Structure 1
Amino acid sequence: MRDVATSPSATAPLNIVIPMAGNDFERPDGSVKAETPVGKTTLLGATLEARAWWSGAAVPVFVLRDRPASQRYARETLLARYPTARIVWLSEMSGGAAWSAAAGMALVAFPDAPVVVDLCDIMFDCDADIADIFAADANLGGLALTFASRHPQYSYLSLGEDGRMQEAREKVVISDHASAGVYAFRNAAVFHLALAHSLENRARLSHNGLLFVCPMLNGVVAHGFDVRTLPARNVFDVKIADAALAG
């Protein structure tokens, strides 16, 4: 499948897809998870805008459910803060974050550039230049940001001695390499190859009947590409912190 692995241009922007159509996005009081206060900003601002690859020139694609709370958030916050943003509206719950991300792929601006799928719910530090990393390795098909954990809340990647990913599982602790919720695919074609693999193997790769993004990396490997990890430092997960305080 090397014919779909064209080298990204050094000057090409990244495609950034942010799925926000999950069942936990809207709260009973009409607020949404992305506007959770974090210091002087919000959860979305503290995650997305802190990424090393974020740029004010980006054309992010947000995927939202077509509901009043999300409509209000898009109108009052998203489009005001990110005027170049594109929004995909879903009329119903999707079959998981992999499907929501796939919906966002319909509006990516640069199909030959790398695609970053960012769940934007975990804060971390990372200074990696994702576009440069793909440009330097013609056989690299995917990247995942990871940190050390064995908490069952996370998805996990197992690595070989050479650092290449061997397997990725959703909410199954198969290693100490927990996903920080950010995944990069070489381009739109590799993303869709990975999605097709998840569909063909959904009995093994689904979780609670849903398809998620992390297990899609198995499809990247299955099509002959390498998947590697990048370290996420100083990780802070609002979900885990809130659960600990509530307990």
Structure 2
Amino acid sequence: MSALNIILLTGRQSEALHDEGEYPHYLCEYNGKPLIHTLIDSCAVLQPRRMICTFSNHDIARLHLRNMVPQMHPSASVLPVHNITRGAACTALLASEEIDNDDELLILSVSDFLDIELQDVVRTFRESHEDAGVVIFNSLHPRYSFARLDSDCRVIEAAEKNPISSNAIAGVYWFKSGSLFVSAAKEMIRKDARVNDNFYIAPALNELVLLQKRIGAYRIEPNQYRPLKTDSQLHAFEAGEMR
């Protein structure tokens, strides 16, 4: 079995400057732990080779993240994002030196909280011999990424912020190899497949579809997915309102 690398994307909110005393969303607390720590704990059961956490250079310096994150897990490290990137795919590609290889790759968004066991997700994709896979739930809200499925529940098309189906992607992407993601993302960028002037992870799946790769879908219930993208959602999370 291949080793596994994980990228935790903190998103654009963390790339913006914060007032003194204000903390980014990935440090909101639940049960006494920052969100990023909770996610790292969830990923630890997968025994990853690396957990690469992307943060703005400003946050790294201001919040001493190089001291904090490695104490959360031995494989956790900090990847600085020096400037605002052109979207999640570009941010993930900053880790190319560590992920452009045959190791499996799992990409997670820190602004999406899933009440599931990640080892079940990864095991399902491995046992089904998929080349890639996504976690989906039922929604038509245009804030999400979406996947169109065939009769075998495999992805045949993906779109960003465009409900081409009711299969919304829950911010979890698995690839049989990191090099598969890197090549697909670079090809998507070469084709200038932007959405709102940014490059996202989901449209890169279309490059794998063109290569006739198998892309699985792991379905969860809507109440197992918690978006953490607005102040009200973050406050509810901190208050322990998990449903």
* Class of the TM-score when normalised by the shorter of the 2 chains: 0.7 to 0.9
Aligned residue pairs total 229
Per mean C-alpha deviation after superposition, the further-off stretch among 30-39 and 41-50 is 41-50
One-letter amino acid of the structure 1 residue matched with residue 127 of structure 2: A
Aligned match for 1:221, one of 188, 202, 209 = 209
Aligned match for 2:69, one of 62, 65, 78 = 78
Q: Percent identity?
A: 20
1:160 and 1:34 map into 2 onto residues whose CA distance is 35
The 3-state SS of whatever aligns with 2:98 is coil
Once the two structures are superposed, residues 45-74 of structure 1 have per-residue CA deviations (whole angstroms, 9 ceiling, x without a partner) of 3334235x744664211222211x233241
2:48 and 2:151 map into 1 onto residues whose CA distance is 38
1:115 aligns with 2:110: no
Q: Which residue of 2 aligns with 1:49?
A: 41
1:61 and 1:135 map into 2 onto residues whose CA distance is 22
Q: Which residue of 2 aligns with 1:153?
A: 143
Per mean C-alpha deviation after superposition, the further-off stretch among 147-156 and 128-137 is 128-137
The 3-state SS of whatever aligns with 2:68 is helix
The 3-state SS of whatever aligns with 2:42 is coil
Q: Which residue of 2 aligns with 1:6?
A: none
Report if the CA contact (8 A) 2:66-2:77 is conserved.
Answer: no
Q: Which residue of 1 aligns with 2:97?
A: 106
Kindly state the Cα deviation for residue 180 of structure 1 after the two structures are TM-superposed.
0.9
Kindly state the Cα deviation for residue 211 of structure 1 after the two structures are TM-superposed.
0.4
Once the two structures are superposed, residues 169-213 of structure 1 have per-residue CA deviations (whole angstroms, 9 ceiling, x without a partner) of 1111111111111101110221122112311332xx312111011
Aligned match for 1:142, one of 132, 139, 143 = 132
Q: Which residue of 2 aligns with 1:200?
A: 190
Give the TM-score normalised by structure 1. 0.81
One-letter amino acid of the structure 2 residue matched with residue 92 of structure 1: N
Once the two structures are superposed, residues 15-68 of structure 1 have per-residue CA deviations (whole angstroms, 9 ceiling, x without a partner) of 101123x331154344222101223322223334235x744664211222211x
The 3-state SS of whatever aligns with 1:93 is coil
Q: How does 1:1-247 map to 2 (within 5 A)?
A: 9=1, 12-20=2-10, 22-25=11-14, 26=16, 27-28=18-19, 29-51=21-43, 54-55=45-46, 58-67=49-58, 69-71=59-61, 72-108=63-99, 111-127=101-117, 128-138=119-129, 140-202=130-192, 205-233=193-221, 234-239=224-229, 242=232
Kindly state the Cα deviation for residue 165 of structure 1 after the two structures are TM-superposed.
0.8
1:93 and 1:87 map into 2 onto residues whose CA distance is 16
Report if the CA contact (8 A) 1:144-1:229 is conserved.
Answer: yes
Q: Which residue of 2 aligns with 1:4?
A: none
The 3-state SS of whatever aligns with 2:151 is coil
The 3-state SS of whatever aligns with 1:230 is strand
Report if the CA contact (8 A) 1:123-1:235 is conserved.
Answer: yes
One-letter amino acid of the structure 2 residue matched with residue 231 of structure 1: R
Per mean C-alpha deviation after superposition, the further-off stretch among 57-66 and 213-222 is 57-66
Kindly state the Cα deviation for residue 167 of structure 1 after the two structures are TM-superposed.
1.1
Kindly state the Cα deviation for residue 88 of structure 1 after the two structures are TM-superposed.
2.3
Report if the CA contact (8 A) 1:163-1:228 is conserved.
Answer: yes
One-letter amino acid of the structure 2 residue matched with residue 184 of structure 1: W
2:121 and 2:96 map into 1 onto residues whose CA distance is 18
Q: CA RMSD in A?
A: 2.6
The 3-state SS of whatever aligns with 2:195 is coil
2:127 and 2:139 map into 1 onto residues whose CA distance is 29
Q: Which residue of 1 aligns with 2:239?
A: none
Structure 1 spans left out of the alignment, 5+ residues: 1-8
CA 56–191 in structure 1, closer or farther in 2 if over 3 Å, else same = closer
